[in-house]
Amino acid sequence: MNNKYNVVLLFGPPGSGKGTWGKILGMMPGFFHVSTGDMFRMLNVESKLGLRVMEIIRKGELVPDDITFNMWQEHVKNAVFVGSFRPQKDVLVLDGLPRTKPQAEMLQSVAAVRAILKLDCEDHEILIERLHRRAVLEGRGDDANEAIIRHRFEIYNRQIQQTLAFYPRDMMAYIDVTIPPVRILAAIGNVLSKSLTSMS
């Protein structure tokens, strides 16, 4: 593909704020945010696919790579079709994709990765606390059960190394998500203003 999407990747364990920061970035002119988690949660659970995906999410497992990537591609194509994402002008902010090495490989065929933000902190127990809060505030079933939350962290820890290993180290910016939000915003702005100004 000649014209690859210009992409910023948001990595981070559950509760690290990928969704929050993705949404904030997506509100800026010239950015378009896609969350694979939101995309799955919007599926109609009455459909066969919707039901299958819901069951996977409820268990804290990962949706198979081919389903994830194909759905994501359709989702982005629809956004182009309706004009909410203009690939020639806009930067695509991806939150939740890729989560595995095969997904990173598939993404490579359609995307030029311009920056990678790794949202994380040393003590994951802080994030687990945040997830308990989110379960109450947003009614997310996969955040309500301690065993499922811990299973999602296990999967994250298992997949993240080989997924990140796919990208050059100097492209990654680590952002500590326990610092005040305004400083996180500043850190993200700093990274993106540097990495996106050189965009051809």
Biggest CA–CA distance in the chain, Å, is 46
Q: In terms of Cα–Cα distance, which of 86, 101, 119 is closest to 20? A: 119
Binding mask 35-74 for ligand ADP (x = CB under 6 A): -xx--x---------------xx--xxxx----x------
Which token pair is 197?
Answer: 């100004």
DSSP, res 84: S
In the numeric block, the tokens 């040393």 are attached to 122
**83 residue type, one letter:** G
* 121 counts as binding ligand ADP under rule CB under 6 A: no
* Nearest distance from C-beta of residue 141 to ligand ADP, angstroms: 11
* 163 counts as binding ligand ADP under rule CB under 6 A: no
* Nearest distance from C-beta of residue 194 to ligand ADP, angstroms: 26
* 17 counts as binding ligand ADP under rule CB under 6 A: no
- Cβ proximity of 142 and 152 under 8 Å: yes
Number of residues that bind ligand ADP (CB under 6 A): 18
* 6 counts as binding ligand ADP under rule CB under 6 A: no
**177 residue type, one letter:** V
Strands (E) in 40-99, as ranges, are 91-95
* 21 counts as binding ligand ADP under rule CB under 6 A: no
The contact set with ligand ADP (CB under 6 A) reads: 14, 18, 36-37, 40, 56-57, 60-63, 68, 96-97, 99, 103, 142, 152
